[in-house]
A and B are shown apart, each in its own frame.
Chain A
Amino acid sequence: MIVAERKPMAEIIEMVKDCKKVLVLACRGCVTVCSAGGEREAEILASLLRLGMRKEGKTVETTVASLVRQCDREYIDEIDQWQGQYDAVVSTACGVGVNFISNLRKDTMVYPALNTTFFGGSANQGEWTEQCAGCGNCILHLTGGLCPVARCAKSLMNGPCGGSVDGKCEIDKDVECVWQSIHDRLGSFDRSAQMEVISPIRDWSTAGHGGPRKTVRDDLTV
């Protein structure tokens, strides 16, 4: 899922300081799962906005709503039902949602309530960890299913580096050295020889270095 976290309230309040009415728009996709921007978090944000504005001597009227997702045209259209009820939308979706609303609603000012952080998984209750960098050229079949692009601090293709100590990364003793884990996991499948294969210099153009990425599926377009 896409993992995100709420921006500092001071930053959000600054965005809406001149608004009288705000639509706090939750997303029922990834940000609901990572408890950053679902309906519950939108209700909390709305309350904090009202309190924060009141402390500044202002009042703001909030409407809280949610969309199935904010990354599909068909769901963005649902915003029309709140037409005239807000000066701005405060989206608790990831950055994709904010962009999509901006793309599709020329007359709607939309502000981001979240900082979109990474593609990750739920490691423990209340804890999410980065697992994928969306680099566009997956090499997991060579690394035992563990991603050095996302999980190695240096995104090394030929690790581990000299900073790996007892399975931990030199940047923090609590951070796993994913190359140690790759080594151990390949070994458990009798594939340690893979560690000896030198990866060539990587072409990062698929990772966004070649500009915004786009996928078109001819079999799905009509």
Chain B
Amino acid sequence: MSFDPAITLFSCHYTSQQSCAEEGKELEQLGFPSGISMVRVPCTGKLQVTTLLKAFEDGADGVYVVGCPVDGCHNVKGSARAAKRVAAVRAALQELGVEGERIEMFHLARGLHPEFVEKGKEMAERIRDLGPSPF
């Protein structure tokens, strides 16, 4: 079954700077999937488990977090903390009988890099394969 998945992306201020370039049109021009809603946060370390779960409650078919490289986080351990919370949500989803792959953490270099768009495409394809959220 093919569908256009609704995906929520939480990205730190540093790894999503390009989203503001060209008045926000640059990502679109680079082929960033339109079904991804991006929420920028000062640091992914600020994200709580409840914030990630709420995205699913609000109807997201998939959720992912993009933060700084583990050894290069602007706030030292912020993205490492985020990865732990993403892992906790993944485990909780699995407990509920839902595919853990519906949530993912990516550590990407800061600034404008092709990987930011690639990971968006990767998640869109993954969630499209998994199908609509069972919630």
**At the interface, is chain B mostly helix, strand, loop or mixed?**
helix
CA of A10 to CA of B95, assembled, Å: 7
A9 contacts which chain B residues (CB < 8 A)?
Answer: 92, 95-96
Contact: B50 with A51, CB < 8 Å?
no
B97 adjacent to A47 (CB under 8 Å): no
For the complex, give the distance between the alpha carbons of A48 and B92 in Å: 8
Beyond A54-B135, A55-B134, A55-B135, is A47–B50 a contact (Cβ under 8 Å)? yes
In the assembled complex, the Cα of A50 lies from the Cα of B58 at a distance in Å of 11
- In chain A, positions 60-96 with a C-beta closer than 8 Å to chain B are none
Q: Please determine whether A51 and B49 come into contact, CB atoms closer than 8 angstroms.
A: no
Using a CB-CB cutoff of 8 Å, which residues 151-173 of chain A contact chain B?
none
Could you tell me which residues of chain B, from 20 to 56, have a CB within 8 Å of some CB in chain A? Answer: 48-50, 53-54, 56
Closest Cβ neighbor of A10 among chain B residues? B95
**Residues of A39-66 contacting chain B, CB below 8 A:** 40, 43-44, 47-48, 50-52, 54-55
Q: Are the C-beta atoms of A8 and B97 separated by less than 8 Å?
A: no
Question: Contact: B95 with A47, CB < 8 Å?
Answer: no
Q: Are A40 and B48 in contact (CB under 8 A)?
A: yes
B98: Cβ under 8 A from any A Cβ: yes
Q: How far is A43 from B92 in the complex, measured between Cα atoms in Å?
A: 14
A160 CB to closest chain B CB (Å) equals 37
Report the nearest B residue to A52, measured CB to CB. B96
B98/A55 in contact, CB under 8 A: yes
- Distance in angstroms between the alpha carbons of A79 and B59 in the assembled complex: 33
CA distance A8 to B135 in the complex (A): 18
B residues within 8 A CB of A54?
135
- Of B49, B57, B98, the residue contacting A50 (CB under 8 A) is B57
Interface string of A99-113 (1 = CB under 8 A from B): 000000000000000
Q: CB distance A51 to B56 under 8 Å?
A: yes
CB contact between B50 and one of A8, A10, A43, A52 (< 8 Å): that residue: A43
B50 touches A44 (CB 8 A): yes
User: CB-nearest residue of chain B relative to A9?
Assistant: B95
State whether B96 touches A55 (Cβ < 8 A).
yes
* Alpha-carbon distance between A52 and B53 when the two chains are bound, in angstroms: 11
Can you name 22 A-B residue pairings with CB atoms under 8 Å? A8-B95, A9-B92, A9-B95, A9-B96, A40-B48, A40-B49, A40-B50, A44-B49, A44-B53, A44-B92, A47-B53, A47-B54, A47-B57, A48-B53, A48-B95, A50-B57, A51-B56, A51-B135, A52-B96, A54-B135, A55-B97, A55-B135
B positions within 8 Å CB-CB of A: 48-50, 53-54, 56-57, 92, 95-98, 134-135
Additional A-B contact list (18), CB under 8 Å, known A44-B92, A51-B57, A54-B135 = A9-B92, A10-B95, A40-B48, A40-B49, A43-B50, A44-B49, A44-B50, A44-B53, A47-B50, A47-B54, A47-B57, A48-B53, A48-B95, A51-B56, A51-B135, A52-B96, A55-B98, A55-B134
